Amino acid sequence: MFVKVVNMIPHSLSGEDNMDSEPSITVNPANPLHMAATAFTPDPMSSGNGPIYVSTDGGNTWRLNVVLPGGNLTNDITVRFGTKSNVLYAGILRAFTIDLNILRKTNFSSPGLMTLLLNKTQDDQPYIEAATDHPGDDRVYMGENDFNHLPQSATVDASLDAVPPPPGGFTSVPVEPRATLGQDGPSVRPAIHHTGIIYAAYFGWRSFGVGTVTSDVVVARDDHWAAGPIRFQDLVDPGDSLPGMRVVKGVSIPALGTLLGKQRIGSSLTLAVDPRRSEVVYLAWADGTSAADYTIHLRRSTDSGQTWSADLRAVVPATNPQLAINEFGEVGFFYQKLHNPGSGNRWQTHVEISDNAFSTHHDILLADLPDDNGTGPTLNPSNPLGDYAGLVAVGDNFYGVFCGNNTPDLANFPHGVVYQRNANFSTHQLLDLSGINPVIASYDPFFFHIRRHEKERKDLGGFGVARLEIEGLKYEKLEIKALKLDFEDPRSERRRRSHGHAKDHHEEKHGGVLRQLGEEIEELGRRLASASRDDEDNCH
């Protein structure tokens, strides 16, 4: 298994000591070298606009690009690329007003602010997803807890063609049909299947307990891109004939703000759909009566959300579950678990990967970090990890981001780590830009990339993808210095069946390679054309 972990704070900000928590990440499916990520990282110059993290080399290096309107740092923020458009979308809560904005940017790494698509007030925890449909329109879905729809606040804002001017084609779709205690939980998570099936998971808060709320965990579904007059009503619970299947009913969840270690908990939810089969859905959430028994449950449906498995995994005490499913159908399950080996609380950040519905799984421990906020400015003393982290799958890769204590100690990173900022791993000391003066520990975002090695993928029995990897890309002139072809693809059932028949295999393989290569080159041309256009961004 290839595992890479990178501390995302750029070298130029070696002297920073912010609490850069609550991360999100997106990888451009049309060009996986291009990535954007976020955290509660302020613009160091306090320009009045906020930064995103960008990488154009597959996550090996990161820099901040100041493109977010509405304050030196945002409140909540999540980001997604359209699947084919190269366009970046963001859902943010602005500073001060806490207004919710949906934003877009054609070229995510260029200068200029993101363009406003939608502004709303009294709307919490924007969680954005996007997909490009066949005509090339970007369909954008944002889960949110919309207090304009009280008492049934679980909402998805949907646009079938998210372009300016505001409101960007967005329609607000409440997805909660049942009575609540006055509102739903903060987390509303959409998931898109490329055939137009949209799932949305939410916490249907039903009543107050003692230091808890009693909640259903509900999955709704729309089978037509949420395009019709009646939306998110295609999955009906036979128990009450209302839209939205109650996967569990009446579970206790610790009140929002309950502390697990130093991290607040109370709304941990994630959902992912198998890109090969829209009826296969994974769901994870956390419940419990206290922090000590805050348990992440992982379950699976193979019939589009109608019925659900028992727990495939149960992890306690843990928070920030994230799910993603790659093109092989392998499921990535991310979480952060608190433990105490006797020397104080620590956060273990795990990704478990399974190709058999968690009958077995690889457990990858990315980091084991102190639950220690450091002694510097504490922007978010009760939210150092964040209310969520990030995990996405592109191709056969898993990419993600998490936050944690940034003490430079290789013992904390079982698979190693690369720091861009100055750090002395012998003395476990961060250093400023000069490389001399010490910098206090704080929280940083960490990027990770997980991929099976070639041999492991061969062992899966697949073959057939052509992948074009280009080194030395310049926009004035395309230079291809190296061309590497990889023939594996277990996506095709026909190819898989032909395994072992040497002649058929050979012919099939080369035909597939040429087709795939043609598509890759065509896509590259589109990317280059898109990169040279900057008609929408407000470039300097």
Summarize as ranges the residues that interact with other proteins (CB under 8 A). 10-16, 22, 40, 43-47, 49, 51, 56-57, 61-66, 73, 75, 93, 95-99, 107, 109-111, 121-122, 124-125, 145, 147, 150, 153, 182-183, 186, 256-257, 264, 267, 378-383, 387, 420, 432-434, 474-476, 531-532, 534, 540
How many whole angstroms from its chain centre is CA 301?
Answer: 21
141 vs 157: CA distance, rounded Å = 6
Smallest gap from Cβ 138 to other proteins, in A, equals: 20
Q: Which is closer to other proteins, CB of 96 or CB of 310?
A: 96
CB 105 within 8 A of CB 154: no
Closest CB to other proteins among residues 438, 461: 438
Report, in Å, the least distance between residue 380 CB and other proteins.
Answer: 6
Q: Which is nearer to other proteins, 19 or 312 (CB)?
A: 19
Nearer to other proteins, 101 or 107 (CB): 107
Q: How far is the CB of 185 from other proteins (least distance, A)?
A: 8
Work out how close the CB of 13 gets to other proteins at its nearest, in angstroms, rounded to a whole number: 5
Exposed e or buried b per residue across 503-532, where buried means at least 16 C-beta atoms within 10 angstroms of its C-beta: eebeebbeebbeebeeebeeebebbeebbe
The number of beta carbons lying within 10 Å of the beta carbon of residue 207 is: 13
Question: Which residue bears the tokens 């089969």?
Answer: 277
Q: Give the nearest distance from C-beta 104 to other proteins in angstroms.
A: 17
- H/E stretch holding 520 reads helix 502-532
Pairwise CA distance, residues 411 & 306, whole Å: 45
Q: Which letter does DSSP use for residue 411 in this model?
A: G
* 179 vs 256 by CB, closer to other proteins: 256
How far apart are alpha carbons 496 and 465 in whole angstroms?
12
Cα 370 from Cα 139, distance rounded (Å)? 40
Question: How far, in Å, CA of 395 to CA of 37, rounded?
Answer: 19
Nearer to other proteins, 44 or 414 (CB): 44
> If phi over 0 gives left and psi between -120 and 50 gives alpha, with beta otherwise, what is residue 244?
left
DSSP H or E run through 403: strand 397-405
CB of 327 to other proteins, least distance (A): 26
Q: How far is CA 525 from the centre of its chain?
A: 27
**Nearest distance in Å: CB 414, other proteins:** 27
Judged by CB, which is closer to other proteins: 98, or 236? 98
CA distances from 12 to 41, 244, 419, 431 (A): 14, 48, 12, 11
Minimum CB distance to other proteins smaller for 14 or for 278: 14
- CA dist., res. 331 & res. 481, Å (int): 34
* Minimum distance from residue 313 beta carbon to other proteins (Å): 26
Question: Contact at 8 Å (CB) between 534 and 107?
Answer: yes
Structure tokens at 163: 């372009």
| Closest distance to other proteins from the beta carbon of 11 (Å) | 5
Of 122 and 309, CB closest to other proteins: 122
Decide if 232 contacts 224 (C-beta within 8 A): no
407/159 Cα distance (integer angstroms): 42
**Rounded least distance, CB 15 to other proteins, Å:** 4
Q: Which is nearer to other proteins, 57 or 471 (CB)?
A: 57
**294 φ, ψ to 5°?**
-70, 110
Minimum Å gap between C-beta 474 and other proteins is 7
In terms of CB distance, is 144 or 274 closer to other proteins? 144
The letter for the amino acid at 84 is: K
Work out the burial of residue 484: count CB atoms within 10 Å of its CB; fewer than 13 is exposed, 13-18 middle, 19 or more buried. exposed
